Amino acid sequence: MAVKHSSFKKTLAIIVSAALILGSASLGFSALSAGVENNGDGNDKTSLIFSPQGGGLIYYTVGTRSSRAQSRYTNIAVPIGTEIILRAERKNDVETFLYWYNIYTDRVISYEKTIKFKMTEKTQIYAVFISPLEGYHYVVYLNYAGSILTSGDVKLGNIVTPPQNMTLPGFTFVSWDKSIGEVTTSEGIVIVKPLYTLNQTNYTVGFTNTENVEGAGTYNNYDTVSIKADAKDSAGSTFSCWKKSDGEIISYERNYTFRINYSETFTAVYGDDVTPEPITRISNIVTDASDRKITFFAERSVPDGYTLLSHGILISSSASTPMILATVTLGESAAVKRGSGISNEPCGTYALSKAKATSGTIYYARSYAVCEDSAGTQYIFYSDKISASI
């Protein structure tokens, strides 16, 4: 049973300017939750228990961070659920806006100067501005998810060695979207991304009850699959939910959509007394010992009556640390790390990889979904905790 807290529908607009400091800068905007989550041992599959403190406020820090200037910060407190609008503006002709970068998820989230989001979880993002040095260009290599692999000022004409081992489950790495020659001679800001081809791998979808359902067949890797059930079966019973072959409920919606990378037989359940609520689960795990990588896949299904605000996956190598959003921290030694999806469609699939995994170490993952009901009350839903190793 989910425990609720009330949210507030307010909007805060902030202009983040490169003129706040001298020299180039990454302009900061971080948010620290003033609430406390209590989710049992943090491992069992339960819904949200979130107790906001301080009148339901979330505390933000807006500031600057740069290797060429002193960091400065300003604290702001706003109600939980506040919609934040950030606009990055330069105040001189020296600095160039590069992108917005999320520190917690280690990913470029937007190349647009204006971004908008609702504050539902710990967030620390920066508007990155660059002051080009004469005779240099700024080179950034990103991975498939938008995480920065390497970046920095490089003297024009110097060869930059691209990152290696660009593996991606279900895909084959082809090349970078810019050649070494292009990177070497391009001026200004150079952003380089990997290119992949999709592997041809077939998966099957079947049903235990073949009447009143559709979507069975053979699909290629990462195809979008939609399984559909009639509102009532031949006996007149009303649709209740979809279940996997092991009995796990995956959705209360008659039409369920996901990206396929496994074979499964589904059952459309009719006549059961159910209370539809958002579902998030770890749907698959892919390990790559040669590249020391473990990739966790999460599926979500948010029924009518709820709006998905954010979602993602938590990863930890600690069996005892509660895996909830409140325990997410920054840094290489963080006990719990988080990755969050960009799309907020009610149904979908999200993947997060643990890179540089240590052989023999057990890594734990659980997915989460932050949702809001029609009354404006917010919930956090968690999946079971799943483990894997290489």
pLDDT in tens, 264-286: 999 999 999 999 999 999 999 99
Taking 70 as the threshold, does the pLDDT of residue 367 lie above it?
A: yes
Domain 202-388 has CATH 2.60.40.10: yes
If pLDDT is split at 50, 70 and 90, which confidence band does 261 have? very high
Closest CA to 276 of 293, 248, 253: 253
Give the contacts of 70 (CB within 8 A, at least 6 positions apart). Answer: 21
Convert the pLDDT of each residue in 45-90 to its tens digit. 333 333 333 334 444 444 444 434 444 455 555 566 677 777 777 6
How far is it, in rounded angstroms, from Cα 69 to Cα 25? 7
pLDDT single digits (tens) 125-156? 777 877 778 899 989 999 998 888 998 889 99
Q: What is the DSSP string of 346-377?
A: SEEEEEEEE-SPPTT--EEEEEEEEEEETTSE
Task: Choose among 342, 283, 282: nearest CA to 315.
Answer: 282
pLDDT of residue 77: 58
pLDDT above 70 for 174:
yes
* Average of per-residue pLDDT across 344-349: 91
Residue 38: phi and psi, rounded to 5, are -135, 105
Is pLDDT larger for residue 376 or for residue 236? 236
Residue 6 pairs with which residues in a beta bridge? 377
Q: Cα separation of 230 and 270, whole Å?
A: 10
Asked if residue 230 has pLDDT above 80, the reply is: yes
Q: Which of 164, 93, 161 is nearest to 132 (CA)?
A: 93
pLDDT at 306 over 80: yes
Mean pLDDT on 360-384: 90
pLDDT at 235: 92
In the chain, residues under CATH classification 2.60.40.4270 are 136-198
- Among 235, 221, 203, 179, smallest CA distance to 351 is for 221
Q: Is 296 helix (H, G, I), strand (E, B) or coil?
A: strand
Q: pTM, whole model, 2 decimals? A: 0.78
- When the pLDDT of each residue in the chain is averaged and rounded to a whole number, the result is 79
C-alpha distances in Å from residue 64, one per residue of 28, 81, 101, 248: 5, 24, 13, 47
> Which CATH code is given to the segment(s) 136-198?
2.60.40.4270
Q: What percent of the chain has pLDDT over 70?
A: 76
Name 99's Cβ contacts closer than 8 Å, sequence gap at least 6.
108, 109, 110, 111, 128
* 255 touches 268 (CB < 8 A): no
Mean pLDDT calculated for residue range 163-183? 94
Place 92 in a pLDDT band, splitting at 50, 70 and 90. low
Residue 287, pLDDT > 90, answer yes
Span 294-303, average pLDDT: 96
Phi, psi (deg, nearest 5) at residue 19 = -80, 0
pLDDT category at 207 given cuts 50, 70, 90 is: very high
Count of positions (residues) in the chain? 390
Contact 220/227 with Cβ under 8 angstroms?
Answer: no
CATH 2.60.40.10 domain range(s) in the chain: 202-388
Secondary structure (3-state) at 217: strand
What's residue 218's pLDDT? 98
Contact 148, 44 (CB under 8 A): no
> Which of 88, 86, 82, 77 is closest to 26 using CA atoms?
88
